Structure 1
């Protein structure tokens, strides 16, 4: 099978992959690249998820690209608007011409002799092979094929319909129906107020509460500023305002968790009134930012609860019944439709099988370098966003750093860049310091981080901006120029 060669192969045409294409053609204009997308369309998450009310839980001034101002009035945007934004970015910059669709990458093998990856993909007409000098994984962090659904006793006996938000059926009619949404995360708090607009009644059934914060869907400061300044200047100022505020709030939550917790719960009481049982339904057992906070625009969830169109029930499921769900507390929730908003299945690098010089790579045994590369693995980077801020903030910095590496290799006349652990041994720490179920379920499959830079993730945009944009690229990084074997030299000479 013949292989098509590119300087860079990008895997994934979602928010990260389109951003990678822009940075590559802007900062490395003489390098060729291709984007391999396993699905039939670009957009990633924002094309895959079609459930009612799908929206961002980050503001678009930070979730948007640094190079393309968000100009719509709503800062908390819905899924179709975000997909349109990503699609426009790809089309306006000619990135869409570099995308190969229905290319599901299965494996990647690095050859030190050739200083290149051989990437094997499954295309619509069978196996396809590509080679590249650098492999950039922008495929997200979860399994696109299936979400996480626990085994519920008696589910087969349920007379209604059970659906997962990741694969929302287009023919589902919930108007006038009794709906139970299982879960308390971002998806659940998005679905409940939207479903409540036409369902007979919606119940959010949670095993334990999550911190929920209301925020205006429109950023009045940003809209005012855009009327006074050029779009790019207004966007940049608003972006930094939101970044700094989120950093301040996160650090405050780490330093004074009880004070922040008290403030968050007080805000919920303001919305729901003094008689609502906030202690049971909105008071988590963990501290703020041990898990990601749930954002609700314009208090829509609280409004649905106050109107009676929706309710929150905090209990455990005993088993399903033909007419609904029996709880351990004894109550039975009547339901025509059950939505299992029970989370994602985390997946590292799309479960691609990697090998270096014929030896399989166990990424779980590696250390993560600067939040994007892996110890001992050459010319491979992974775009992975922040857990405490917008995904794209880190994705943008990762793209910029990858381009720095590519330009350093070219400038020095070298072909290989490999993170190497220095003389000081690393103390292993989890890849993500988060207690969310979808994280804890998967951490054993993820690489470790160390106790010091550049092997430790600080989840700090300002710090990463300085180190990734302006810091040295040589810290515990080996740049080299593999020498081809004698057989390869002879083959080259004979050619």
Structure 2
């Protein structure tokens, strides 16, 4: 593990059958060269240097503090401050309860609502499992329960959207204070799981609303002045601090310049084999997760697939594995969500297709395919 290293480019050398990975080192002028048989991209899918750019009219005029959560200032003291958090996604839902400990008041200003579900840190089932079963078995059963719950919840929401809406509405209303109405603040324009759900750990978001130090305003910003946020409805807010929780910018592969035998390649123009390897790119894997479940579950699937592939390569006495598209395919998106940051930046991902090129489905199905499925079709060994 090398710290303070930033990978700038990676080239596959067909003559040596090795990856040449170039990295800059903080505080040093010369680059460092690493070589390897395989290259993994465990870079996630966010741009860590640049947040999603959005137009907020007049934000530059504001005389108070403006913070983007991605670049939170160290040791910033917001004690007794009036705070407005712009946004309604996972970041806003996390920031609001976290700031009510010191802030005078925290208001979440949203253009449109999202689905928010309280989720217990420890369920009654977990307590029973760990009280009566050996630790290893309890962990296994708890993990399976969480995975199956996620799969079934997503299936239910997408198959019976009307019933899912009614259930979420009932659970939400039961946790709101009388001063905050479900409509319009918790009535999204879309069906459950067309965008990601926001999880509120132990219902801390709703606790903050009931505590009286947090509020929600659903409106559109007309303009921001030196001391206020003017809304289209005619209302205005007067914060000391504005937190712009407006979303994340997507980036695939960490922005590394990729090439094969010196020829640059654009990963977003390629098809993805089993959501793990890129067409025509030798010995390179990337890790992706699930839009409706934990990202690490997807990484788990890809690693099992890699081990399966290695066994096949050993059997064939092969050094190189290259996915090849064997026939024309209809292009599909690797991510199905309709979230704003996916609509804006989803084009950075490789393309999905059919057969071996289909996007991930769900953890259990994909895990079985990774361990025992086909790793030969559309794969060239040499």
In which range does the TM-score fall when normalised by the shorter chain? Answer: over 0.9
2:148 aligned counterpart, secondary structure: helix
Aligned equivalents of 1:355 and 1:177: distance in 2?
Answer: 50
How is 1:157-176 mapped onto 2 (pairs within 5 angstroms)? Answer: 157-176=61-80
**Which of 224, 227, 232 does residue 323 from structure 1 map onto?**
227
Which 10-residue stretch deviates more, 441-450 or 280-289? 441-450
Aligned equivalents of 1:275 and 1:326: distance in 2?
Answer: 22
Contact 2:177 2:209 (8 Å CA) reproduced: no
Residue equivalent to 1:293? 197
Cα distance change of structure 1 residues 203 and 149 upon mapping to structure 2, 3 Å threshold: farther
Return the offset for 1:403: 2.4
**Which of 342, 348, 357 does residue 455 from structure 1 map onto?**
357
Contact 2:275 2:360 (8 Å CA) reproduced: no
Residue equivalent to 2:277? 373
1:271 aligned counterpart, secondary structure: coil
Aligned equivalents of 2:75 and 2:61: distance in 1?
Answer: 22
Return the offset for 1:273: 5.4
Residue equivalent to 2:370? 468
Contact 2:304 2:367 (8 Å CA) reproduced: no
Q: Tell whether 2:330 aligns with 1:427.
A: yes
Aligned equivalents of 1:285 and 1:274: distance in 2?
Answer: 23
- Runs of at least 5 residues in structure 1 that lack an aligned partner in the other structure: 1-98, 481-495
**Which of 192, 196, 201 does residue 96 from structure 2 map onto?**
192
Aligned equivalents of 1:454 and 1:256: distance in 2?
Answer: 29
Return the offset for 1:149: 4.0
- Runs of at least 5 residues in structure 2 that lack an aligned partner in the other structure: none
Which 10-residue stretch deviates more, 234-243 or 314-323? 314-323
Aligned equivalents of 2:187 and 2:361: distance in 1?
Answer: 25
- Per-residue CA shift, 1:350-393, capped at 9, x if unaligned? 01111112221111211111111111111111011111001111
1:287 aligned counterpart, secondary structure: coil
Aligned equivalents of 1:406 and 1:319: distance in 2?
Answer: 57
Cα distance change of structure 1 residues 468 and 261 upon mapping to structure 2, 3 Å threshold: same
Contact 2:62 2:228 (8 Å CA) reproduced: yes
**Which of 111, 119, 144 does residue 21 from structure 2 map onto?**
119
- Per-residue CA shift, 1:230-278, capped at 9, x if unaligned? 2221111000011111101101111111110111111111111566421
Q: Tell whether 2:297 aligns with 1:389.
A: no
Please, what is the CA RMSD of the aligned residues?
1.4
Moved over 6 A (4+): none
Aligned equivalents of 2:365 and 2:323: distance in 1?
Answer: 20
Which 10-residue stretch deviates more, 378-387 or 300-309? 300-309
Q: Tell whether 2:108 aligns with 1:231.
A: no
**Which of 100, 116, 129 does residue 212 from structure 1 map onto?**
116
- The higher relative CO (CA closer than 8 Å, separation ≥ 6) is in 2
Aligned equivalents of 2:96 and 2:179: distance in 1?
Answer: 21
1:272 aligned counterpart, secondary structure: coil
TM norm structure 1: 0.74
**Which of 412, 434, 439 does residue 342 from structure 2 map onto?**
439
TM norm structure 2: 0.96
Contact 2:274 2:360 (8 Å CA) reproduced: no
Residue equivalent to 2:8? 106
Return the offset for 1:412: 2.1
